[in-house]
């Protein structure tokens, strides 16, 4: 179980093949809300990864002693406390960015991704594999956030990490910012396009249609 190769696959699987956002479509609310610029996307990705790894470690350590009847509440309390601590640290040391992230850091608590990993993996596995799994999922989430954040910041305001990359038309350049990129719908489009691209590249990720209409035989009924 703890052979290096299996740890490596636990870490690398969620990056693309089992990506929590594009395959399981988990945690997309925050993925859409914070990706208007790359710095906020990176901070959010970092915060979520830290919360995910720490909560997986703690829950995995006490996994044999969590009563089944209250296991979800115990997990949520632990996740919520870690989120508050992270939020306070951000407000103290990354004040500007924490203002831009506003409520979305606190909403990590309700991020399906975190509870999904603690409930389905950390609750059943020893600390080391749990932390590696959490790190892999955190990095998978980060990857999607960085891709979408890069596209939205680049085409929405012509900057990357706040530095002007595409010269703006209003300042003598040629690029007119696409304001749509800064709004939530564009994140849906980009995420949809990303999921489409990944599933075209790896057809095994596509879901089986739940219902196939029967072939029409002969004349259609009146």
- Which stretches of the chain bind other proteins, using CB under 8 A? 36, 62, 64-70, 73-74, 77-78, 80-82, 84-85, 88-89, 91-93, 95, 100, 102, 156, 179, 182-183
CB of 183 to other proteins, least distance (A): 7
> How far apart are alpha carbons 102 and 209 in whole angstroms?
39
Taking the least distance from each CB to other proteins, the nearer of 21 and 101 is 101
Taking the least distance from each CB to other proteins, the nearer of 70 and 197 is 70
Taking the least distance from each CB to other proteins, the nearer of 73 and 124 is 73
User: Among 61, 55, 59, which residue's Cα sits nearest to residue 111?
Assistant: 55
CB of 100 to other proteins, least distance (A): 8
CB of 53 to other proteins, least distance (A): 16
> Residue 121 gets which letter from DSSP?
I
Q: What are the two backbone dihedrals, phi and then psi, of residue 16, each rounded to the nearest 5 degrees?
A: -125, -50
State the CB neighbour count (10 A cutoff) for residue 80.
Answer: 17
The HSE-up count of residue 200 (CA atoms within 13 Å, CB side) is: 6
> CB of 194 within 8 A of CB of 148?
yes
Taking the least distance from each CB to other proteins, the nearer of 57 and 198 is 57
CB of 191 to other proteins, least distance (A): 18
Taking the least distance from each CB to other proteins, the nearer of 11 and 82 is 82
Taking the least distance from each CB to other proteins, the nearer of 10 and 55 is 55
CB of 141 to other proteins, least distance (A): 21
CB of 115 to other proteins, least distance (A): 15
> How far apart are alpha carbons 86 and 90 in whole angstroms?
6
> CB of 149 within 8 A of CB of 44?
no
> How far apart are alpha carbons 175 and 156 in whole angstroms?
10
Taking the least distance from each CB to other proteins, the nearer of 71 and 199 is 71
CB of 36 to other proteins, least distance (A): 5
Structure tokens given for 62: 């006490």
Task: Give ∠ CA 64-59-143 in degrees, rounded to 5.
Answer: 140
> How far apart are alpha carbons 197 and 164 in whole angstroms?
28
């Amino acid at each position: 179980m703890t052979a290096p190769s299996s740890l490596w696959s636990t870490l690398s699987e969620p990056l693309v093949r089992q990506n929590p956002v594009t395959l399981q479509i988990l945690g997309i609310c925050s993925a859409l809300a914070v990706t208007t610029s790359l710095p906020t996307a990176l901070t959010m990705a970092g915060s979520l990864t830290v919360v995910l790894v720490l909560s997986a470690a703690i829950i995995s350590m006490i996994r044999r002693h969590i009563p089944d009847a209250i296991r979800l509440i115990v997990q949520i309390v632990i996740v919520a406390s870690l989120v508050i601590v992270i939020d306070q640290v951000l407000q103290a040391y990354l004040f500007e960015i924490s203002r831009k992230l506003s409520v979305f850091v606190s909403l990590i608590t309700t991020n399906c991704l975190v509870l999904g990993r603690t409930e389905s993996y950390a609750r059943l596995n020893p600390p080391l594999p749990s932390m590696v799994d959490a790190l892999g999922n955190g990095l998978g989430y980060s990857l999607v956030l960085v891709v979408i954040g890069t596209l939205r910041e680049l085409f929405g305001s012509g900057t990357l990490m706040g530095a002007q990359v595409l010269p703006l038309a209003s300042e003598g350049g040629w690029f007119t910012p696409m304001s749509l990129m800064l709004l939530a719908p564009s994140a849906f489009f980009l995420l949809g396009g990303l999921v489409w691209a990944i599933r075209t590249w790896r057809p095994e990720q596509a879901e089986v249609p739940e219902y196939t209409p029967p072939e029409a035989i002969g004349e259609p009924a009146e």
